[in-house]
Every structure is written in C-alpha cells, then in structure tokens.
Chain A
Amino acid sequence: MFSFGDIMAEALGLILTWDRDLSEIVLLSLRVTLTAVAIACLIGLPLGAIVGAFRFPGRGVATVLLNALMGLPPVVVGLFVYLMLSNAGPLGILGLLYTPSAMIIAQTILVTPIVAALTKQVVEDLHGEYAEQFASFGLTARERVAALLWDARYSLLTVALAGFGRAVAEVGAVLIVGGNINHVTRVMTTTIALETSKGNLELALALGVLLLGLAVIVNAGVMALRASAVRAAYA
C-alpha cells in the first residue's frame, strides 16, 4: 500500500532538487508545446483573420470546418501523422517518426484549428467596428489583416493560451508519433501515463504538479497582461 503523503513528499523532493530526468522531460515538453503553438499561431492567426474579416464564397464552409476541427480527436491526428511519417508513408523519407519534430507536427495540427477558429471570432467582432474606417483608409487586404491582428493582440493572447492548454495537456497524438522513448521523446503527459502504469508514482505526481503549476503560471501571466491592456483601453 502506498501512502499519498509519502509519495507527495517524494514528488516535491524531485521538484525541489530539480531532478535531472524530471528537468529533461519538462524542458522537452515546453520545447515541443511552445514550438507547436508558435507554428499554429503563424498559420492560425492570419487564417482566422481572413475568414473573420472577409466575405468570400465558401466562407460558411470554412467556418464550419474550423469549428469542427477544434474538436479533432488527438489519437486520430496521431494515427494520421504516424501514417504520413512511417517508412511506408509519403513523408517517411524525412525520418521524422519518433522524434520531437513528429510530436510538434501532430500538436500543430491539433492546435491550429483552435487558434484559427477563436481568432476568427475575435477579428470578426473587431472588424465590425473598424470596417468602414478601413474601407475609408483604402487598406489592402494584407494591411487590413495586419492591423486587425495588431489591434486584437491582447485578445489573441487568450487565443494562444487556449492553444497552449490544448497542446501541453495532450497525450494520445504525441504518444503515437513520439513513441515515448526515454531521453528522446518523453514528455510530461506521456511520462505520467507510463510511470503511473509502472507504479512509479513519485515521478508521475511530480510531473503532474509541474504541469498544473505551469498551466496556472501561464494563465496568470496572460490574464495579468490582458487586464493591464483593458485598464489602458487597448483591449
């Protein structure tokens, strides 16, 4: 029988001593997640802004697709990326399977629709306010998108945060394409799943605490930034 108190004490010990295995896993998790969110923002922000700000044939379909893809099942994405990157797949030649790059690809696919769909909503509301003024300025489509994204920047922090939350907590896709290989592709969520099944609860709990702490810190940072923007009337 294990004692929750003992395990928690050991878990905290691992965190406080900044255990080497623990730090390696945390840093890889952050690298994979932040890279995926950054790429998803590069794609999703302009994509969402275009769908939000412009009327074009198929806009309704694009909106439905973006909203539907927000709920993509991670294991299905993992399977799809696995098939693409496996030796028999069209991108097998790149040799990316079971590498952090494969995990980044899978997470990017999961996060991009979330960023794009939420951006679309934010930009659509802002564009409703700006549309006539922008038309009067005679802005090009590119200038319009850039200005909308800049002026919505504080609201879009929340959008990026939603993407971060999805990516950092994700297990299924990164497990399939990363393989959970020790010192190579082991991230916080996959390690928690593995170590729990092995009965190594201290490490699993330490990672769980860090994962929660990370989510709280990132949320608090973004909320504080947004609140200061609201006070200054920039949001």
Chain B
Amino acid sequence: MRDTVMDIRAESPVAADPLLEARGLRFAAGGQTLIHGIDVAVEPGKRTLVMGANGSGKSLLLRLLHGLLTPSAGEVLWRGYAPERAARRAQAMVFQRPVMLRRSVLANLNFALKVHGLAGRARADRANEALEMARLTDLASHPARVLSGGEQQRLAVARALVCEPDLLFLDEPTSSLDPASTQMIEDLVNAAHKRGVTIVMVTHDMGQARRMGDEVIFLHAGRVAERGPLDQVLGAPRSEAARAWTQGRLYTPASL
C-alpha cells in the first residue's frame, strides 16, 4: 500500500522559541501504537487547531501535550524545558464534557483560584470578573451540576481562564452545543486570545476552524498528515487525508 500520508514538517517554519514543543511523541496502549512519533511546536500567541477524523489521535495528542498522559516515547517541552509543576499551572484545559465539581458555580471558580494561591479580596474580585465574563453572575450560587450544557461549558472555560493561563487547551468544547452557546464559548476563547493566551483546540467543525484558527495540525491515524497556516491546510491541502476531509470525502487507509 502506498503511503500517501504527507508529513510536511520539514517545510513548515518552526518558531525559534515555541511555548510548547513535542519531540518524537509516541503513545501506545493495549499493544497498539496510537500516536506515531509526532513532532509539533506551539507558537506563543497563536491559535492552533488540531483536526482530523475520529480516532486520528486528536484528543490523545492534546492530553499528551498537557501532560495528562505519559508518552511511551519522546518528550514534551515547556519553554524549552521539561515541564514542572509551575508549567502545569500555566496551562489549562477544557474538556469535551465539562467536569463540574459538586459545588456552586462561584465555588468552582474559587477552587481553581485557591489552587493557584489566590486568597481574600484578590480571589473574590477575580471570581466576580470571571462570572461576568461568562455571563454567569446570576447563577453564582447555583450548584454547577444543575446548569444547562452550554452554561456548564461556559463555566468550564471561565474556570480554565480565571487563573490567567499562558496556554489553553480545548478538546471539542462546543461539539454538543447549540449555535448560541457555541458563539458564547468562541467569544470567551477569542477574548482570551486577544489578551495573549495561546490556544490549542481540537475541532471537527470546518466553520469553527475558519473562525478560530491561525494554524492547523491535521492528524491521520496517529500521524501528522499536514501542518501549516489555516488557509493553506483547509484551502489547498497537500495531503490526501486533509484533502479528502476538506472535500467531505470518506478517507480510510483502504481507500488509498
């Protein structure tokens, strides 16, 4: 079988000092290799989208980059060094299904702030700002778990941003939301980006990709099929996997 998976890493410009960098990242589980030696660099201030079909390894890659999973081989570097505790706390992640603590909306925000060492007036001010930003002020005393799906995801984004991370990971944060809720999440993320937060987001949604992306890492079968500026990867894809994806064609290794 001809290997048409295009790796254009050598052609892609690599930032001189990436915020986050993965080198030779490999992950295996249950006797199967799911991520095959991926090299990626996340540039500061950019919005990088991770795209690809189901099972291509997008969520796995995000978890490996954020340090939630330990790679079988390779390494992840934060500002050029092996990440330590401080690095983890300079990053935040929003999951596809928001994890709400069994506390009020405000207590969810306060928990994140407390973990980051904020107390007293500073904590209260920051929590109130986050409530306003996420339009959840009226729900501050409500238990987080009774909020609607859209409200929970807004709270999850607000909780991730309240500690002012340098890098925000989002794993398909709007996949189960209606357009209005999606818009609010995108507004929150874009506002954070304007404040200088680097974004790495998994999405399936081409429209969202066009609204939210600067760079695209396109994965296929656990490999980087293509990587580059959004317009290039979605407008004139060079790999067969990305081309099939953008044209709405089914693409499996058997179809090569």
Chain A contacts to B: CB under 8 angstroms? 129-130, 132-133, 135-139, 143, 147, 151-152, 232-235
Contact = CB atoms under 8 A, between A and B. Distances in A.
B115 A233 contact: no
Given A133-B99, A234-B143, 12 more contacts: A129-B99, A132-B93, A132-B99, A135-B68, A136-B66, A136-B68, A136-B88, A137-B115, A147-B101, A147-B111, A151-B102, A233-B143
A232 B103 CA distance: 10
A187 B101 CA distance: 42
Contact of A130 (B85, B92, B101): B101
Mostly helix, strand, loop or mixed at chain A's interface? Answer: helix
B68 A233 contact: no
Nearest to B83: A138
From B102, B112, B143, name the one whose CB has the most chain A CB atoms within 10 angstroms.
B102
Contacts of B146: 232-233
Given A151-B102, A232-B143, A132 B95 contact: yes
B38 to A, nearest CB: 20
A147 B107 CA distance: 12
Interface residues of B, number: 21
Contacts of A234: 102-103, 143, 145
A234 B145 CA distance: 8
A130 B145 CA distance: 13
Contacts of B63: 132
Given A135-B68, A136-B68, A233-B143, A151 B103 contact: yes
12 contacts: A129-B99, A132-B63, A136-B88, A136-B91, A136-B92, A136-B93, A137-B89, A147-B101, A147-B111, A151-B102, A233-B102, A233-B146
Contact of B85 (A138, A147, A233): A138
A138 B103 contact: no
A138 B89 contact: yes
A151 B103 CA distance: 7
Q: 10 shortest A-B CB distances, which residue pairs?
A: A138-B88, A133-B99, A233-B145, A233-B143, A151-B102, A136-B93, A233-B146, A138-B89, A234-B102, A135-B68
A6 to B, nearest CB: 53
A114 B235 CA distance: 63
Interface in B93-152: 93, 95, 99, 101-103, 111-112, 115, 143, 145-146
A181 B105 CA distance: 54
Contacts of B143: 232-234
Contacts of A132: 63, 68, 93, 95, 99
